[in-house]
Amino acid sequence: MLQRLFLSLAALGLFWGCGGGSPQPSGTATPTPTPTLPTPPSGGGSMLPTGREYDLGAPTVTDLWVDPSGGNDSNSGASRGQALRTVAAAWNRIPRGSTLTGSGYRIQLMAGTHTGIPNYWEERFGTAQFPILLNAVDGPGTANLSDINMASCRYVYFIGLNITKTVEGGDTFHLERCDHVLVRQCRISCAGRRLAQEAFKANQTQNLFVENSDISGAGDNAVDCVGVQYGHFLNNKLHDSEDWAMYLKGGSAYFLVEGNELYDAGTGGFTAGQGTGIEYMTLPWVHYEAYDIKVVNNVIHDVEGAALGVNGGYNILLAYNTATRCGARSHMLEVVYGFHECDGETENCRERLDAGGWGTLAREPEIAIGNRNVFVYNNIFANSTGNSDKQFLAVYGPRANTGGVNAPNPALADTNLQIRGNIFWNGGVETPLGVGGDEGCRESNPTCNPGQLAADNAFNTLNPQLSADFRAAASLAPRAAVALPDFDWANLPSRPSIPQGTLSNTVTRRRDGSARSGADRPGAY
């Protein structure tokens, strides 16, 4: 008989430490098409981010042990001595297509390389009390798996695994239409450079929590999320990618991105929004590319493009981040346009447009998606000589939307854009801001204009003198940061109605966990 366990967090053996210019964004990255209309996942309440690690609670589970060298798939799997040999055998013992009752399952992956894994992980429905765990029982990094492609699963937790792409093509870790997925203390990478298109890919998924993990090695993006709502990325290393280190786009919403290190990327560091075929977006989030995204206390370095960007966002906070050696292609910070198009699934596009979404029924021209309420506060953008001296910012001017449906015409990239309390050290005194004239943040903009930017930020007047661990010099301490205003939830289209996000923008701690006092000082530390 399989042993049933009532688990506490301590019994899971979890570890909390960290694992190991283009003035215009590059072309729209197209997610893998889905054969049917994307719909929100069901099976659990949606969770606005709190800044705390995901709480597993005390779930009830049945153990299934897997030993890749000494197990046997005819064993019971109830103990180390009765271990199965393959992960596929353990996975197939979990009922498919029905919500678990009475017990969840904990697949205890013993040390070694697990080759017998499912080709396609699908339709396993855990709950908060009866989840499905894949746990490296001998410690983080001891259980090795090849790439994972998972769809339509709920309450699945990956703990301490090495997930490695070994053949070219596809993604290392791919989620589609999943709900309540935790990735903790995992390493997601490639056995050879650029074997994966994306290292971590999530489509039309809700309640996604990625913590203390190392994600790298993609030909495109380290992290690519399309139509993903509710969750967080906390204390991860996201790196070694040709395009972005990370973006949340396609109607992604309600995410906290905090305490991460993003580095060795091409097109950009982190971006809220980008460009999407509207058929891949999930109702009701079909206007902006990103809603209610808070990006705080991160370090971004060694990125060819912009360290931080917003491409079609609503209520986006970029605060207390430190960026260095970024923007050699053009600029360090961008607030520009996202884009919507229809990538061929015309009926799915029409359904979203009929519901009030912003877009088109054609592939061309793309429809520009503007920004509203982008707050860029108390960051450090510091480059040594030779990194970037073309311009500090990219903020685009008005753009006509001809042929679009429902979308504002013209689109505006800088509605209630606020850039305050930041330190920029980049190039020389002749380095242009990159705004005004035909660009955005013109003199007529009350919240962002050349005079305001110069008054409310330090452009090449304060050298933060970053140390090797990205901390600013002690002499910077007198430079007080600016208090963060809260968001409102106004001026959104009435249809479809968008659930309200978190309005408070309070940041109570630094990247190292120490408390921030008042507005504190700029940067992650």
The yes-or-no verdict on residue 18 having pLDDT over 80 is: no
Q: What is the pTM of this model?
A: 0.91
- Domain 59-242: which topology? Pectate Lyase C-like (2.160.20)
Name the nearest CA neighbour of 163 among 217, 208, 226, 91: 217
Could you tell me the residue ranges of all domains in the chain? Answer: 59-242, 246-525
Compute the radius of gyration of the chain from its Cα atoms: 23
Helix/strand/coil for 351: helix
Average pLDDT over every residue of 360-384: 95
Helix/strand/coil for 238: strand
pLDDT in tens, 428-447: 778 899 999 999 999 999 99
The yes-or-no verdict on residue 469 having pLDDT over 90 is: yes
Encode 421-441: b = buried (16+ Cβ within 10 Å), e = exposed: bbbbbbbeeebbbbbbeebbb
Higher-confidence residue of 147 and 25: namely 147
Higher-confidence residue of 254 and 14: namely 254
| Token pair in block for residue 309 | 């960007």
The answer to whether the beta carbons of residues 121 and 163 sit under 8 Å apart is: no
| Token pair in block for residue 185 | 């203390």
Distance from C-alpha of 483 to C-alpha of 88, rounded to nearest angstrom: 52
Higher-confidence residue of 109 and 475: namely 109
Distance from C-alpha of 155 to C-alpha of 94, rounded to nearest angstrom: 13
The answer to whether the beta carbons of residues 274 and 280 sit under 8 Å apart is: no
Residue 473 has what DSSP assignment? Answer: P
| Token pair in block for residue 115 | 């080759």
Residue type, 518: G
pLDDT in tens, 307-366: 999 999 999 999 999 999 999 999 999 999 999 999 989 999 999 999 999 999 998 889
